[in-house]
């Protein structure tokens, strides 16, 4: 029988840096191993954003097709959807630090090979498909494992802060990464973008090697992997709050968040601002995302988490609709700042509320289902690219924003337990 009573996890020992942190915004950085995780996320995310810019621009330039742009990005969906849940089982059974290290080393190797192919002028369209598929296999293991670590590296009272700072690490590089990638694309080419990403992953492996990671809970090792996976699904289905939080996390990832896939179309064809402008569009939403996550991190143990989740989801949908029909570059950049703020506030709150409402024995499996968003977003990219090809990029983003608004209104009016979550 699955045990649903929460398991108490030993509180991590605070090891503040000399002089300590004064601002509550950075409370979680008092903990040594969380600091190492935080900075590893910064280097990893910088590489991810640069790769996304270079890969998307190359795909659109080589194919001149919004559909192919969505299809290449959509290849990432396959590993996450097929392997992601099993990665959660592995995170509940195996050494999490070793899993993270090996998966990141694997991605680094693939990135180095891709850099060589581009610099040697050997790259073809099929290489882009193969790279997104194979690198997605590595990420399908890294992401669930990383999520299971956070609650064991900080005390429960600091969990929302830790989740928000994780997003802040991701989005601080979202501001500068695309800008650097855009400049490198325009001056030296995509090969050097991939070369720089490879070097960043060397630093990531060094930080992971220094981390002290708590032991994986032993209870999850008593059954077969298939049975453990099914128990995780049963746990979600048997808890209305958790199942709705999963829905609120996954549906926007399929129908709203992939708007970023269409940024090359907006940059080149709608706003006509080229590769540097493409980097600015992505960076603009990154600025808003960074502000949003730092704001969430500063709220402390905020008691209206559910309401904030739903309001930010509705705001995300409305601002996406507004952006889709903006004809003016400064206005588009300003709206994308707001979009980014709503987006990361929404994602931080769903992540925090899930951690607070699940037990540690099933954390890896539940979070691996949650991390299916990493597979649904590329699948949504295929949906977005298809819509843009059949109609237009502005209409596609309008549809995506409308889905997000409809979902949050439904949850707000039909599931009062969500908006009352504290």
- How do the domains of the chain map onto residue ranges? 26-212+224-419
Q: Which residues of 9-22 are buried (b: 16+ CB within 10 A; e: fewer)?
A: eeebeeeeeeeeee
In this predicted structure, the answer to whether residue 100 has a pLDDT above a threshold of 50 is yes
Q: Is the pLDDT of residue 12 over 70?
A: no
Q: Taking residues 267-279, what's their average pLDDT?
A: 77
Most confident of 12-26, 176-190, 220-234: 176-190
- The second-level CATH assignment, the architecture, of 26-212+224-419 is Up-down Bundle (1.20)
pLDDT confidence of residue 10: 40
pLDDT of residue 209: 86
Q: Is the pLDDT of residue 1 over 70?
A: no
Helix (H) or strand (E) holding 310: helix 305-324
Q: Is 79 a residue whose pLDDT tops 70?
A: yes
Q: CB-based contacts of 9: which residues, under 8 Å, 6+ apart?
A: 151, 152, 214, 360
State residue 173's pLDDT score: 75
What band does 378 get if pLDDT is binned at 50, 70 and 90? low
Q: Above 80 in pLDDT, residue 243?
A: yes
**Percentage of residues in the chain having pLDDT higher than 90:** 4
Mean pLDDT over residues 325-335, rounded?
Answer: 87
Nearest-Å Rg of the Cα atoms of the chain is 20
Confidence of residue 268 (pLDDT cuts 50, 70, 90): confident
pLDDT band at 325 (very low <50, low <70, confident <90, very high): confident
Q: What is the pLDDT of residue 347?
A: 83
Contact between 232 and 366 (Cβ < 8 Å): yes
Range among 266-275, 278-287, 336-345 rated most confident: 336-345
The 8-class DSSP code of residue 10 comes to: P
Per the model's pLDDT, the better-predicted residue between 112 and 381 turns out to be 112
| Residue 5 confidence (pLDDT) above 60 | no
Question: Where would I find the H helices in 215-271?
Answer: 225-237, 240-255, 263-265
pTM reported for the whole predicted model: 0.65
Classify residue 3 by its DSSP letter. -
Whether residue 306 contacts residue 411, with contact meaning beta carbons closer than 8 Å, is answered with no
Average pLDDT rounded to a whole number, residues 174-203: 82
Percent over 70 (pLDDT), the chain: 87
């Amino acid at each position: 029988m699955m045990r649903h009573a929460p398991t108490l996890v030993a509180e991590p020992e605070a090891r503040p840096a000399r002089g300590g942190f004064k601002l509550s915004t950075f409370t979680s950085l008092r903990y040594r191993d969380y600091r190492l995780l935080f900075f590893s996320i910064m280097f990893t995310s910088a590489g991810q954003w640069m790769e996304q810019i270079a890969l998307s621009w190359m795909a659109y330039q080589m194919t001149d097709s919004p559909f192919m742009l969505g299809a290449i990005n959509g290849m990432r969906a396959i590993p996450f959807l097929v392997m992601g849940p099993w990665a959660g089982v592995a995170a509940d059974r195996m050494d999490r630090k070793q899993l993270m290290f090996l998966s990141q080393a694997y991605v680094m190797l693939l990135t180095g090979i891709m850099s060589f192919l581009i610099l040697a002028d050997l790259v073809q369209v099929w290489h882009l498909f193969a790279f997104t598929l194979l690198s997605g296999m590595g990420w399908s293991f890294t992401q669930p494992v990383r999520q299971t670590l956070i609650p064991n590296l900080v005390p429960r009272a600091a969990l929302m802060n830790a989740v928000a700072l994780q997003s802040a690490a991701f989005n601080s590089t979202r501001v500068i990464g695309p800008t650097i990638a855009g400049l490198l694309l325009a001056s030296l080419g995509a090969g050097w973008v991939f070369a720089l990403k490879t070097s960043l992953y060397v630093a990531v492996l060094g930080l992971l090697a220094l981390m002290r990671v708590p032991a994986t809970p032993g209870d999850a090792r008593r059954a077969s992997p298939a049975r453990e996976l099914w128990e995780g699904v049963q746990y979600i289905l048997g808890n209305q709050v958790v199942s709705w939080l999963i829905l609120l996390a996954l549906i926007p990832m399929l129908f709203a968040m992939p708007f970023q896939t269409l940024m090359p179309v907006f940059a080149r064809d709608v706003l006509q601002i080229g590769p540097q402008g493409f980097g600015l569009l992505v960076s603009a939403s990154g600025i808003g995302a960074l502000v949003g996550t730092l704001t969430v991190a500063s709220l402390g143990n905020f008691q209206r988490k559910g309401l904030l989740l739903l309001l930010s989801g509705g705001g995300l949908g409305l601002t996406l609709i507004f952006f889709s029909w903006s004809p003016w570059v400064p206005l588009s950049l300003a709206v994308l700042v707001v979009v980014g703020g709503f987006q990361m506030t929404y994602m931080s709150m769903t992540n925090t509320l899930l951690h607070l409402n699940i037990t540690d024995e099933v954390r890896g499996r539940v979070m691996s289902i949650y991390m299916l968003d990493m597979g649904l977003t590329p699948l949504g990219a295929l949906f977005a690219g298809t819509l843009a090809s059949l109609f237009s990029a502005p209409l596609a983003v309008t549809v995506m924003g409308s889905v997000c608004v409809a979902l949050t209104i439904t949850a707000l009016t039909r599931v009062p337990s969500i908006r009352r979550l504290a």
